[in-house]
Structure 1
Amino acid sequence: MRYATIVIRADGGGLHPVDWALYTDPVVTRETIQKINLLSDGTFVIIYELSGDLLHAEELLSNHPDIITADVTGEEVGLTYMHLEGNFTVKALLTIVQMFEFVLDTPIECTEGCGVRVRLIGDDATLQTAIATIPDPLEVTLEANSDYDPTLDDVFASLTPRQREILTIAVEEGYYQIPRRVTIEEIADALSLDSSTVSEHLQKVEACLVHEMIGSKL
């Protein structure tokens, strides 16, 4: 079994008008998509994790023409259930999931540029075909393609919130690419932290990951 991690972005308007409205709002932040399902009538349901001013989010969503129903729970961080009118982009992506019968791993991480980071689980040939089928208007970046290891989810969950935050920024900004696209100091500036603090957290994260991946084999 294989998994592929891809980032999907759409130019000018995002994946869906509601997603774009949330992304461009200055007091609401898209965190993750917990669940998403395409219905037989072409509409779809989605559960977002949002942070920020959720009272404002509720008002924003209640006035959006593409929303059939919406329910926001929480104050500064919460979940939002929405039943939405479908559009070409979302229908295409969810139809591909159904067509190739692979698993769309959740939660789906919301990224900068109104994109999403998606992990697909299935056999290698199916994953490659499915990724190639994603329609041209969407920009697709393959970040990882390797054997699926569910224990990695447990490792990530075991990190502290601060460690997860720093690791996510480090990966997104290219700290682990070759050559590195960002320094410890730049990550620290982005998070308003001391570089020594960021370095210490990343060392602990890396030690944890190495131990979980190979420690039991030594």
Structure 2
Amino acid sequence: MKRVEVGVRSAGDPIHPLVPFLTGPDVARAAMVDWNGVVRPENPDESTVVLRVHADPSVVREAFAAEPVVDEFHVSVADEDCCYVHAHSETARLEGATAKSLTPPGVVAVPPLRYEDDGWMVLTLVGDDAPVQAAIERVPDEIEVTVRSVASRGYGAATDPLACLTDRQRDAVFAAVDAGYYEVPRTGDVAAVADDLDCADSTAAEHLRKAESRLVASLVASARA
């Protein structure tokens, strides 16, 4: 099973009419953090999504209110520069065609979907090699597709907060937690971690430093998605 990050964009009409706004200068960054994957037979051309938008909430409201395909939406303000949008809208032609192509049986799209500059939308697909490759090849000709990264850890790598660590770094973090190294006040030390890992104190400390660096970088990248 593979985890494949792909970027998609349209050179012509946008995949969704709001993509130019979400990838434009008024928005620092945006991501679709969840969506309704259930398609009702009586309403196959509707979608409901939750977006995190780092922008002035009043500007976000104006953009969504002005877009005809949006049936209804609600903005929840996180702070002056960030809000969440729960939106129900008609499914745009390219949006529906692209989503259908990229999520055939055997392939799962894992949130979040990021909006980047120049109209790019970046999402993670999880599945076996053949279904994922076939999904990418089925994307409409109007859509440009790029493979950003490929990992072999599958779904776990997309959802496990420790997926960015090596096995040894994971062992060190688990040992540190068990020893009380991260308690406040601290009740364990590096020596306890080293004993658990059967290595030198300096080696255990290095594993922890690298693990902490990777975890912080990963968390910040996720928060900025």
Instruction: Specify which of 48, 53, 62 is matched with residue 51 of structure 2.
Output: 48
1:120 deviates by: 0.4
* Counterpart for residue 3 of structure 1: 3
Alignment partner of 1:9: what SS? strand
Give the structure 2 partner of residue 136 of structure 1. Answer: 141
Distance 2:82 2:148 in 1: 28
Compared with structure 1, are the counterparts of its residues 146 and 10 closer, same or farther at alpha carbon in structure 2 (3 Å cutoff)? same
Give the residue type in structure 2 aligned to 1:8.
V
Question: Which structure is larger by alpha-carbon Rg, 1 or 2?
Answer: 2
Task: Report the counterpart of residue 73 of structure 2 in structure 1.
Answer: 70
In structure 2, the partner of 1:208 is 214
2:125 equivalent to 1:125: no
CA contact (8 A) 1:121 1:148 kept: no
Provide, for residues 36-88 of structure 1, a one-character-per-residue CA deviation record: whole Å limited to 9, x for no partner.
Answer: 33533211111111012111211221122111001111132121011111122
- Asked if 2 retains the 8 angstrom alpha-carbon contact of 1:37 and 1:94, the reply is no
1:31 to partner: Cα distance? 1.8
SS in 2 for 1:100: coil
- Aligned match of 1:145 in 131, 150, 158? 150
Say how many residue pairs are matched.
164
Amino acid at match of 1:17: P
Cα RMSD after superposing both structures: 2.7
How far, CA to CA, are the matches of 1:53 and 1:157 in structure 2?
A: 32
SS at match of 2:59: helix
Scaled by the length of structure 2, the TM-score of the pair is 0.64
Q: How far apart in 1 are the matches of 2:214 and 2:60?
A: 37
Label 1:109 to 1:96 Cα distance change in 2 as closer, same or farther (>3 A).
same
Opposite residue 126 of structure 1, the aligned amino acid is P
For structure 2, which runs of at least 5 residues remain unmatched after alignment? 166-208, 216-225
Which of the pair is proportionally richer in helix?
1
Task: Tell me whether 1:32 sits opposite 2:39 in the alignment.
Answer: no
CA contact (8 A) 1:69 1:82 kept: yes
Check the 8 A contact 1:7/1:140 in 2, yes or no.
yes
For residues 90 and 52 of structure 2, the distance between their equivalents in structure 1, rounded to whole angstroms, comes to 19
Question: One-letter code of the match for 1:129?
Answer: A
Per the alignment, residue 102 of structure 1 pairs with 107
Tell me if the contact between 1:13 and 1:20 (Cα under 8 Å) persists in the aligned partners: no
Q: Is the 8 A contact 2:31 2:51 kept in 1?
A: yes
